[in-house]
Amino acid sequence: MGDLDRFFSPASVAVIGASHGTEKIGGRALRTLLKHGYRGRVYPINPNHSEVAGLKSFKSISEVPDAVDLAIIAIPAALVPDVVDDCADAGVKAAVILSSGFAETGAAGAELEERLRTTCQRTGIRLSGPNAEGFFNVGGCTAATFNGSIDPDSGDTSSAAQIAVVSQSGGLAFAFFNKGRRDDLIFSHVVSVGNQADLETADYVAHLIEQDAIRVVLMYVESFRNPSRFLTAARRAADLGKPIVMARIGNSAAGSRAARSHTGAMASPKAVVDAVMDAAGIVQADDHDELLNIAGAFLGNPLPQGKRVGIVSISGGTAAWLADACSAGGLEVPELDAATQARIARCIPPYGTSNNPVDVTAQADGYLEPLEIVGKAKNIDAVILAANFAGDRRLVREGQAIADWVRRVGKPVLIYSYASPGEKSRQLMRELGLHCFTSLQGCVRSLRSLVQYAEYQRTRGERQAPGRRREDVPEAAARLLADPRKTLCEYEAKLLLAAYGVPIPEEALARGVEEAVAHAERLGFPVALKVQSPDIPHKTEARAVQLHLSSAAGVREAYAIVIENAKRYARNADIHGV
């Protein structure tokens, strides 16, 4: 399968392990597929039934008379490898393995998973999962999942689908979808990648960003199986101007516990990966709501030319709060020039504020005029309108004119309602194509993401130069990145940063005292020595650092001291060098 078209849009699906009812996941998956309007052929497979959910059931995949594009597998883990073999033999193109009990449970499960990989290599069948919650091709009406948060009465259509979700957690993948739809975001695909025995994050992302309708990819990531391939996909996404918004968990549960014993000062793997993500233009988010807010901001807005925000509010408190939040978030809220202020003053009550942030007051006749004036200001790159859409009075009166203005102003406009929009307001905004933020900090953080992404796009030519010179990431760096729980030495972390084009100070690893002296003479004095050992993350605590060395003699003396202190601190430490 050259691409994943047949995987996401199969002409026929077998559900292996389809059962009566919805208690078991095979039963739930079958019903979910049928309820979400799947238009292809469906074959339940269950040796104990001749009929499931009103469909003829087959004893095994080999009995199905037609070609099957996709098998959804929901049977005990121990049985899965043989069934996948059968599927490959029967010409099935791909399978989604919903079953758990593989590498995530230990050695025996890992062996089962290895057998799946062998089958893939031998036969060419592509596998999603195992230990996944499947996928939902929303526009294509293909729900290959047992997840409970998707809703058959979906209003999503393929033509407008703009958001793809690729997630290492199935629960979260569908939660993003579930929550985003309540904010009128329109999804295209939701993918739970599971253990990534075969198909992995990079495969899904690479496929999805090429779909014309998809404008933004949302991701939840715990670790990268193949960071190099993912970063290639990220580069392509950047070329296409399609932002990837990612929530990244830096540590697993155990890793998180371990991390607490570290100081924030050392170069942790998280800091390294963050730097790589920044260099690749990945927009990071730390909450479901933030992911969705940022997606909402990217859709329907041009990228801003800078970080200067104009605020127009009907509430003075909200105006001040937004200005504070923008400033705290690194955005600017510049003063408007006198002429602009004078024009604004003419269309707001005398107790309003005509400077930025503009407070038109709750008693203003409307906010279109001040919005237009602020939107035209030369020193404004983006506009936030803060209003109260609990009622729909203003929207009825001015909504169409505001929507028209948003479309022609050529700058991002974020609309924030400080009270929850009522149902009528929501409906109106949907019809007008306006996205409404309901979180103040969410609105500001989203605008900041827009500003940062725009800055990334403007400057990425220079930033990515090192990444371009060597078409791919060095294997050593990729290996380090693949396991975020490993303690990196400082020199390793910096190697990784350099590989992705992040500037680092000049330095070199010395494996002996004379090598250290030679490096020092090449780099120029003064120099510092720091022991490099994964067993000594806290070098200062171990007194394994010597600073301000201004001569070869000083380096020799310091070398002896740091090595001795390092060995005293951790007798069996694996010392890579200095």
- The residue from 32, 100, 154, 188 that contacts a copy of itself (CB under 8 A) is 100
| Residues numbered 108-127 forming contacts with a copy of itself, rule: CB under 8 A | 109
* Residues 6+ positions from 457 with CB-CB distance below 8 Å: 238, 241, 281, 303
Site membership for a copy of itself, residue 271 (CB under 8 A): no
Strand ranges (E), 119-236? 126-128, 135-137, 142-144, 163-167, 187-192, 216-221
Closer to a copy of itself by CB, 12 or 341: give it: 341
Among positions 476-495, residues that touch a copy of itself (CB under 8 A) are none
| Cα–Cα distance for residue pair 566/252, rounded to 1 Å | 29
The reply on whether position 135 binds a copy of itself by CB under 8 A is: no
Total residues contacting a copy of itself by CB under 8 A comes to 81
Residue 174: Cβ-neighbour burial (10 angstroms; 0-12, 13-18, 19+): buried
Instruction: Provide the β-strand partners of residue 190.
Output: 136, 165
Q: Which of 220, 367 has the CB closer to a copy of itself?
A: 220
Window of 8-16, 199-207, 353-361, 539-547 that interacts with a copy of itself by CB under 8 A: 353-361
Phi-psi category of residue 155: left, alpha or beta, with phi > 0 → left and psi -120 to 50 → alpha: alpha
Report the site for a copy of itself in 517-546 (rule: CB under 8 A).
none
Phi-psi category of residue 458: left, alpha or beta, with phi > 0 → left and psi -120 to 50 → alpha = alpha
User: What residues form DSSP beta bridges with 187?
Assistant: 163
CB of 178 to a copy of itself, least distance (A): 4
Residues 215, 299: contact at Cβ < 8 Å?
Answer: yes
Interface with a copy of itself in residues 166-195 (CB under 8 A): 167-172, 174-175, 178-179, 182
- Least distance from a copy of itself to the Cβ atom of residue 385, Å: 14
Q: Which of 442, 435, 437, 425 is nearest to 390 (CA)?
A: 425
User: Are the beta carbons of 225 and 482 closer than 8 angstroms?
Assistant: yes
For residue 576, the minimal CB distance to a copy of itself (Å) is: 28
CA distance 153 to 163: 18
Amino acid 305 reads: Q
> 121, 159, 212, 260: which one contacts a copy of itself (CB under 8 A)?
260
- Complex with a copy of itself: residue 121 or 254, whichever CB lies closer: 254
Residue 445 token pair:
């953080």
Query: How far is 544 from 15, CA to CA, in rounded Å?
Result: 60
In whole angstroms, what is the distance from residue 396 CA to residue 23 CA? 47
Q: Round to whole Å and give the CA distance between 50 and 178.
A: 35
CB of 449 to a copy of itself, least distance (A): 16
Stretch that binds a copy of itself, among 43-51, 81-89, 253-261, 538-546 (CB under 8 A): 253-261
Q: Does 315 bind a copy of itself (CB under 8 A)?
A: yes
Q: Give min distance, CB of 3 to a copy of itself, in A.
A: 27
Question: Could you tell me the smallest distance in angstroms from the CB atom of residue 25 to a copy of itself?
Answer: 7
Dihedral in degrees, nearest 10, Cα atoms 31, 93, 96, 77: 110
Under the binding rule (CB under 8 A), the answer on residue 288 touching a copy of itself is yes
Nearer to a copy of itself, 12 or 192 (CB): 192
For the window 379-408, what string marks contact with a copy of itself as x by the rule CB under 8 A? ---------x-xx-x---------------
Q: CB under 8 A: which stretch of 32-40, 250-258, 490-498, 511-519 binds a copy of itself?
A: 250-258
**If binding is defined by CB under 8 A, does position 277 make contact with a copy of itself?**
no
Please select the residue that binds a copy of itself; options are 131, 162, 188, 226, rule is CB under 8 A. 131
Binding to a copy of itself, residues 409-468 (CB under 8 A): 418-420, 438-442
Task: State the minimum distance, in angstroms, from the CB of residue 218 to a copy of itself.
Answer: 13
Instruction: Rule CB under 8 A: say whether 363 interacts with a copy of itself.
Output: yes
Among the listed ranges 243-251, 400-408, 465-473, 515-523, the one in contact with a copy of itself (CB under 8 A) is: 243-251
**Is there binding between residue 320 and a copy of itself (CB under 8 A)?**
yes
Which DSSP symbol is given to 294?
A: H
Q: Say which amino acid occupies 572.
A: N
Q: How far is the CB of 317 from a copy of itself (least distance, A)?
A: 2
Q: Which is nearer to a copy of itself, 26 or 227 (CB)?
A: 26
Contact between 50 and a copy of itself by CB under 8 A: the answer reads no
Nearest approach, Cβ of 5 to a copy of itself (angstroms)?
Answer: 28
Report the nearest approach of a copy of itself to the CB of residue 71 (Å). 20
Q: Per rule CB under 8 A, is residue 350 in the interface with a copy of itself?
A: yes
What distance in Å separates the CA atoms of residue 554 and residue 558, rounded to the nearest whole number? 6
**Distance of closest approach, residue 323 Cβ to a copy of itself, in angstroms:** 5
**Quick check: 383 and 414 in contact, CB under 8 A?**
yes
**Are 200 and 120 within 8 A, CB to CB?**
no
252 lies in the binding site for a copy of itself (CB under 8 A)? yes
List CB contacts of 378: < 8 A, sequence separation 6 or more: none
What's the min distance (Å) between Cβ of 365 and a copy of itself?
Answer: 10
Q: By CB under 8 A, is residue 247 in contact with a copy of itself?
A: yes
Q: State yes or no: residue 222 binds a copy of itself (CB under 8 A).
A: yes
Residue 342 or 553: which CB sits closer to a copy of itself? 342
Contacts with a copy of itself in 326-345 (CB under 8 A)?
327, 332-335
Smaller CB distance to a copy of itself: residue 76 or 241? 76
The span from the CA of 384 to the CA of 313, in Å, is: 8
Alpha-carbon distance of 272 to 278, in angstroms, equals 10
CA distances to 100, 276, 546 from 228, rounded to whole Å, are: 27, 11, 35
- Point out which residues pair with 293 in neighbouring strands: none
Side-by-side strand order, sheet with 12-16: 41-45, 12-16, 70-73, 94-97, 126-128
- Pairing relation of β-strands 244-248 and 216-221? parallel
